[in-house]
A = this chain, B = another copy of it.
Amino acid sequence: MSVTAAKGFTAAGIAAGIKENGNPDLALVVNDGPRRAAAGVFTSNRVKAAPVLWSEQVLKGGELTAVVLNSGGANACTGPKGFQDTHATAEKVAASLNAAGHDETGGHAPGHVAVCSTGLIGVLLPMDRLLPGVDKAVAQLSPHGGEKAAIAIKTTDTVHKTSVVTSESGGGWTVGGMAKGAGMLAPGLATMLVVLTTDADLDSEVLDRALRAATAVTFDRVDSDGCMSTNDTVLLLASGASGITPGYAEFAEAVTRVCDDLGQQLIRDAEGASKDIKVEVVNAASEQDAVEVGRSIARNNLLKCAIHGEDPNWGRVLSAIGTTRAAFEPDRLSVAINGVWVCKDGSVGEDRELVDMRYREVHIVADLAAGTETATIWTNDLTADYVHENSAYSS
């Protein structure tokens, strides 16, 4: 159901010919209202793709009537022509929707159309194929188009990712979404694009607050390979079609649940990975410390290789902790791997032979013994398949 689980949305996913292999590569999500509130979170990379620069501007108005997404090209580092192409795409979406009589109550304007792109950096999009593709997508818009849209935004994804949370409160409302990629926001990697929709009746300020709170503890803590994309975008659109205005806490929790679910799907489908690693930092002096330590562990290539080899190498965990500015005493650090405290008080703990690492999920707990705060970062192991996939990508 994806982005069309919430009432008031239609979507489509088609093959426009942007990808040379003929796979679906263009997705369209349209908010039919009555509301058009929206919020967005974007990559913190200072080298931003043209669609990110465009969509950031568009979102300042707090309204979106449509989102168009393409795979097969990131439109990043493409200069003024790349930005013109993004602009032309938004104009085409608005014109095509208007021409199709899709909106009876006011018409679509390019300034309310967000654009997302993903694929190789530094290549211009084939606009001669993309623009006709927009007409095709508009013609196929459907309240059941969510799955097709989710499929059309895949790049190296092996499966498409969708999630829906429905609340019965107040008569019933829904948050749904789709995602592609395997990464994170700030920083992030192999581009993550996410579109969330809801039929709850909320304004853009509430959406923005809920979206930032949700991404901070979900996508922002998914760190597959430490590389930040130029294109990461997470959008949340509200149609208000349920007529229900949930309380903030309840709504934010629903958004967080959808983001968490999609984030987990990203990790499970990360390029070349054979293990999903949950890095839980406990007893930190601050949440910031916990996140810094978790990220440092999650990015340690030597540790990621060890986990790949099913080696409970806690020394590499301590090495990674030692590079941070977090509050801790080296001789009070403890580390558990899959429930076995292999390191206690900075030194050898329980027998490492007790650690069972046969399964895909690996759970590392790092106890800083410096406070009461906690944070969880998800990452993957580093594998020969990752190297292969990313060394053969553009050549």
Residues of A within 8 A of B (CB): 44-48, 74, 76-79, 82, 120-124, 187, 189-190, 225-230, 299-302, 305-306, 308-311, 313-316, 318-324, 328, 330-331, 333, 343, 345-348, 382-384, 386-395
Give Cα A391–Cα B300 distance, bound, in whole angstroms.
Answer: 13
Collect the chain B residues with CB atoms within 8 Å of residue A310's CB: 395
Kindly state the separation between the CA atoms of A251 and B76 in the bound complex, as whole angstroms.
48
Contact, CB under 8 Å: A227 / B302: yes
**CB-defined contacts of A300 to chain B, threshold 8 Å:** 227
Q: When A189-B302, A384-B387 are in contact, do A79 and B346 touch as well, CB less than 8 Å?
A: yes
Q: What are 30 A-B interface contacts by the 8 Å CB criterion?
A: A45-B323, A46-B322, A46-B330, A47-B321, A76-B315, A77-B348, A79-B345, A121-B315, A121-B316, A122-B347, A227-B301, A227-B320, A228-B323, A229-B319, A230-B319, A301-B386, A305-B389, A305-B393, A306-B391, A306-B395, A309-B390, A310-B395, A311-B392, A311-B394, A311-B395, A313-B393, A382-B387, A383-B387, A386-B387, A387-B387
- Measured between C-beta atoms, what is the minimum distance from A389 to chain B in Å? 8
Q: Which of B306, B319, B382, B387 is the one whose CB lies under 8 Å from A45?
A: B319
B346 and A305 contacting across the interface, CB-CB below 8 Å: no
Q: Judging by beta carbons under 8 Å apart, are A322 and B395 in contact?
A: no
Q: Is the contact region of chain A dominated by helix, strand, or loop, or is it mixed? A: loop
Bound form: Cα–Cα A355–B319 in Å: 38
Q: Is the CB of A302 within 8 A of B190?
A: yes
List, in ascending order, chain B residues with CB within 8 A of A189's CB.
Answer: 302
Q: Are A77 and B387 in contact (CB under 8 A)?
A: no
Task: Give the residue of B47, B318, B388 whose beta carbon is less than 8 angstroms from that of A77.
Answer: B318
Please indicate the chain B residues that have their CB under 8 angstroms from the CB of A315 in the complex: 74, 76-77, 120-122, 230
> In the complex, are the beta carbons of B302 and A301 less than 8 A apart?
no
Task: Give chain B residues whose Cβ lies under 8 Å from the Cβ of A47.
Answer: 318-319, 321-322, 330, 333, 346
How many Å from the CB of A319 to the closest CB on chain B? 6
B331, A122: Cβ atoms closer than 8 Å: no
Complex CA gap A48/B191 in Å reads 37
Using CB atoms, name the residue of chain B closest to A45.
B322
